[in-house]
Amino acid sequence: MKQQNKSIFMLLSNPFEPDPRVYKEAKSLVNAGFSVEVLAWDRTAQWPPAETLDGIQITRFRCKGQYGGGLSSFRQFLGFYWRLARHIRRQSPWALHCHDLDTAAIGWLFKKIFNIPLFIYDAHEPDYYGHFPKFIKYWVDRLEAFVARQANAVFITNGLQAKKFQRLHARETLTIRNVPD
């Protein structure tokens, strides 16, 4: 009998230094018997391309980029997404756990293209891109609503987000607070 693939890929648009929320979630999954690989974007090439931390595999893609570049960063995002796609296609994970909206939309597309059974959207922030111009914010809000409806579950941080994602018709939400141990 073939053992079920229990690998989870966490998509992250920062280098995982480690990011405390991502680390705690990944460590909990490793402790529960899952194989977890964090696929991170190292925009400055300052971190090891691959390492293991407390049973968590970390793969960092070195693609030059800047933080907060808005639309001017679009090409850099495409480079990161292309590297993610190649890695995911080769490995065929059981689940994609996408941290923040900038990896969730492409994560949904990867779920469809590569036939990945489980797609999680982890919304760390209550209101993405709230400082953007209204026109862009409108489209970002539409994108988040779409992703929330497509995700098998949305992980949130507080009650305000619970109300927001209920309005967006998310299938299921799970509150995981951002608090120290």
Q: Report residue 160 CA to chain centroid gap.
A: 20
CA atoms of 105 and 109, how far apart (whole Å): 7
pLDDT at position 128 is 65
Structure confidence by residue, pLDDT tens digits, 37-47: 999 999 999 99
Entry pTM: 0.90
Query: For the chain, what's the residue count?
Result: 181
- Domains of the chain are 7-128 (3.40.50.2000)
Structure confidence by residue, pLDDT tens digits, 60-94: 999 877 666 655 577 888 999 999 999 999 999 99
